[in-house]
Amino acid sequence: MNIIRFQQFFRLSNIRRIVQLLVFLLFLILIVQTVFPLESWLPADFFLRLDPLAAIGTILSSRSAGTLLTKFLPAIVIVVLTLFLGRFFCNWICPLGTTIDFADRVIRGKSKWVRKPKLMHTPPLRNLKYYILGGFLIAALLSAQVAWLMDPIPIVTRSYAVTVYSYFSYAANTLLGPLWQVPIVNKVSEPIYGFLRDYVFIPNSELGYQSITMLHHIAFIAFMGILALSLLYPRFWCRDLCPLGALLGLLSKISFLRWVVDKEKCVECNKCYHECKTNAILEKGDGYLVQECVDCFNCQDVCPVDAIKFAFQSPSTSLKREKQYTPQGLDLSKRRFIQAAAFGAVAVPFLKLKPSDRDYPPLLIRPPGSLPEEQFLDKCIRCAECMKVCPTNALHPTLFEAGVEGIGTPKLVPKMGYCDYECNACGQVCPTDAIKKLALEEKKKLKIGTAYFNKNKCYPWNENLNCLVCEEHCPTPEKSIKFWEVEVLEQKTNKKIVVKRPYVVTETCIGCGICENKCPIKEEPGIRVTAREEERHRERYSGGRGIEL
């Protein structure tokens, strides 16, 4: 009896659930640990490195393979495993898949047999993902990075790392925070709040939560949209849209692990057909589509006669079997592929062409170590790891400053945060090397922009008030803000006073933005930072001060 129970508990679908949950937990822990100083035992961008689509897309669009291949070694492992096991990644590992499974439960309720959406079985749409994959690869081949639009791993990473995280931190902060003066309740709330504050939120903001821009909300709506697709049928995204699922599906055509039905036993009850979340099983157990199966093993659970087995077979036999089992196979249309390719090709100028290539946006300050703009855009997959790790919450997504192509890429917003002099974390977590990994000493000298004084605002310049808060905070060894002591006549008192009027030493200013961030004038600071003379674009230097180009 116990053995049967034991077997019952450790059936494949339950093992899958346990692994899936643990992997998802690991994903969340890694996100929480994506803080400076980086101390987690796994690289913070581990899940992104598991993603073969991001690897292929980035290698194609940036036309560089060398270092990327070593970084994406885990993705190669996933590819090899897929050749053995099929699309297991989608239901065992993918955090978006797990989130969608949760959403399916919430939306559809726990009961499996009632409230089944009517559109459960939709063969025609499922080919869409292969065409999306086709368009994706064509665009990448023509050097447009589109992983950020459709690749599930960057989508789920940024959704959790910056949107869900900031929503959660805001909610926890505003709900728990005010309870600190409430007797009795604070005995419970304060330890929780303290833990969250010290270990989860505080690294990024003295607000206690992550500050955001409008684009965060847009990203959140997009994420919710993906989950809401489950209103139509379960795993809509994975079934019909996901290009990574398509890629793994194509690989699994020759995989070893196969779904086998004992036709002698089968009573053609159609339970497996109805249970299958990706609609891979044909009616009456007449066969299955290997490229659609995500190895969830739920079909075994519902089979009343134990007719379903998963067995290892050589690909040649299984291909033969498949012909016999699944007459439809993978029935893609050439015409649609050409359409998809055309779509991918048209997307390239749409994304890449900017109103003016000479209109350098002054406020587009990239994180230190970013590649020159063109290459940067080819590589950045908008996973938002850099935004999450930034200890001052200074990196935020662009909207259109960097063109349509640049939506969601990171920029430094000095009013919200500054580039910490002693930190080089963004380059360490970037999975595609769009931001280079820099040694700290190298980063300290790297110029990402230049400050200038807005003398119509600055206290000492405009109002004869002493201030020098910018100078105080300037981190470069010999200070890149210096000052003149000027004697002026104060109008009110008619007395001579000495005012210390600051100026920027352009040569040594690194553009970290702490001066603008700390300026006591908050609305429109008296000192601003622009991308002027950023080191990655030395060709733009005027040379007016005799700098060697």
Partner 1 sequence: MSEPKFNRRDFIKNTVAAGIAFASFPLLGYSESKTPSAQVAKKDIGLAIATGSDDPKKLVQAAIDAVGGMGQFVSRGDIVVVKPNIGWSRTPEQAANTNPYIVEKIVELCLNAGAKKVKVFDRTCNRAKTTYRRSGIEAAVKRVGGDIKYVDERKFKEVKIPQGKRLKSWRMYIEALDADVLINVPIAKHHSTSRLTMAMKNLMGVLGGNRGDLHNQLGQNLADINTVIKPNLTILDAYRILTAHGPNSGTPDDVKLTKQVIVGTDPVAVDSYGATLFGLTGQDLDFVRIGHEMELGEMDLNKVALKTIEVGG
3-state secondary structure of 256: coil
Using the rule CB under 8 A, is 473 a contact of partner 1? yes
End-to-end CA distance of the chain: 80
Stretch that binds partner 1, among 86-94, 217-225, 464-472, 531-539 (CB under 8 A): 464-472
Q: Is 38 in the site for partner 1 (CB under 8 A)?
A: no
Q: Does 507 bind partner 1 (CB under 8 A)?
A: no
Shortest approach of partner 1 to residue 230 CB, angstroms?
31
Q: DSSP letter at 435?
A: B
Q: Is 465 in the site for partner 1 (CB under 8 A)?
A: yes
Q: How far apart are CA 341 and CA 291, in angstroms?
A: 21
Nearest-approach distance from CB 471 to partner 1, in angstroms: 5
Which parts of 130-189 interact with partner 1 (CB under 8 A)?
A: 177-183, 185-186
Q: Which of residues 409-428 bind partner 1 (CB under 8 A)?
A: 420-423
39 lies in the binding site for partner 1 (CB under 8 A): no
Can you read off the two tokens belonging to residue 476?
């470069």
DSSP per-residue string spanning 149-218 = HH-HHHHHHHIIIIIIHHHHHHHHHHHHGGGGGSTTHHHHHHHHHHHIIIIIIGGG-TTSS----HHHHH
- Least spacing, CB of residue 447 vs partner 1, in Å: 16
Calculate the dihedral angle through the C-alpha atoms of 532, 537, 543, 544, rounding to the nearest 10 degrees.
-10
In the complex, least distance from residue 178 CB atom to partner 1, rounded to whole angstroms = 7
If binding is defined by CB under 8 A, does position 520 make contact with partner 1? yes
From residue 327, give the alpha-carbon distance in Å to each of 27, 75, 247, 309.
Answer: 39, 32, 21, 20
Report in angstroms how near the CB of residue 481 gets to partner 1 at its nearest. 9
Q: Of the candidates 223, 236, 237, 459, which one interacts with partner 1 according to CB under 8 A?
A: 459
Q: Closest distance between partner 1 and the C-beta of residue 451, in Å?
A: 15
Of 38, 370, 36, which is closest to residue 205 (Cα–Cα)? 36
* Binding to partner 1, residues 380-399 (CB under 8 A): 391-392
Stretch of 116-124, 160-168, 290-298, 473-481 contacting partner 1, by CB under 8 A: 473-481
Q: Which residues of 324-338 are buried (b: 16+ CB within 10 A; e: fewer)?
A: ebbeeebeeeeeebe
* Subset of 264-303 contacting partner 1 (CB under 8 A): none
For partner 1, which is the closer residue by CB, 382 or 443?
A: 443
Task: Please choose, from the candidates 46, 58, 162, 136, the residue with its C-alpha nearest in 3D space to the C-alpha of residue 95.
Answer: 46
Of the residues 141, 200, 468, 505, which one makes contact with partner 1 according to CB under 8 A: 468
The amino acid at 29: I
In the complex, the smallest distance separating the C-beta of residue 408 from partner 1, rounded to whole angstroms, is: 25
Rounded to whole angstroms, what are the CA distances from 113 to 108, 271, 276?
A: 10, 10, 12
* 208 part of the interface to partner 1, by CB under 8 A: yes
Alpha-carbon distances, residue 285 vs 241, 300, 529 (angstroms):
25, 12, 65
Is residue 524 part of the contact set for partner 1 (CB under 8 A)?
no
Q: Does 487 bind partner 1 (CB under 8 A)?
A: no
Length of the chain: 549
Report in angstroms how near the CB of residue 462 gets to partner 1 at its nearest.
Answer: 12
Three-class HEC string of 332-371: CCHHHHHHHHHHHHHHHHHHHCCCCCCCCCCCCCCCCCEC
- Token readout for 471 is 């100078």
Cβ 406 to partner 1 shortest distance, Å: 28
Q: How far is the CB of 518 from partner 1 (least distance, A)?
A: 6
DSSP, res 220: H
Task: Rule CB under 8 A: say whether 451 interacts with partner 1.
Answer: no
245 binds partner 1 (CB under 8 A): no
Cα separation of 68 and 56, whole Å?
10
Q: How far is the CB of 422 from partner 1 (least distance, A)?
A: 5
Backbone angles phi, psi at 542, to 5 degrees: -75, -30
CB closer to partner 1, 64 vs 186? 186
According to CB under 8 A, which one of 64, 213, 339, 476 is a site residue for partner 1? 476
Q: Is the CB of 198 or the CB of 357 nearer to partner 1?
A: 198
Binding-site member from 164, 469, 527, 529 for partner 1 (CB under 8 A): 469
Residues 188-207 that bind partner 1 (CB under 8 A): 197-198, 202-203, 206-207
Bridge partners (DSSP) listed for residue 129: none
Is there binding between residue 97 and partner 1 (CB under 8 A)?
no
Distance CA 197, CA 132 (A): 42
**Please, which residue, 206 or 548, has the CB nearer to partner 1?**
206
91 exposure class (CB count in 10 Å sphere: 0-12, 13-18, 19+): buried
The residue range among 53-61, 142-150, 469-477, 532-540 that interacts with partner 1, by the rule CB under 8 A, is 469-477
Interacting residue with partner 1 among 336, 455, 457, 500 (CB under 8 A)? 500
Q: By rule CB under 8 A, what count of residues binds partner 1? A: 46
Least Å distance, CB 483 to partner 1, is 7
Q: Judged by CB, which is closer to partner 1: 232, or 468?
A: 468
Residue 491 Cβ vs partner 1, minimum distance, rounded to whole Å:
16
Least distance (Å) between residue 386 CB and partner 1: 16
Q: Are 490 and 483 in contact (CB under 8 A)?
A: no
Residue 549: CB atoms within 10 A of its CB come to 8
Among 457, 475, 505, 538, binds partner 1 (CB under 8 A): 475
What does the alpha-carbon distance between residue 234 and residue 118 come to, in Å, rounded to a whole number?
Answer: 11
- Contact between 457 and 528 under an 8 Å Cβ cutoff? The reply is no
Q: What are the residues binding partner 1 (CB under 8 A)?
A: 35-37, 177-183, 185-186, 197-198, 202-203, 206-208, 391-392, 420-423, 459, 465-469, 471-479, 483, 500, 518-520, 522
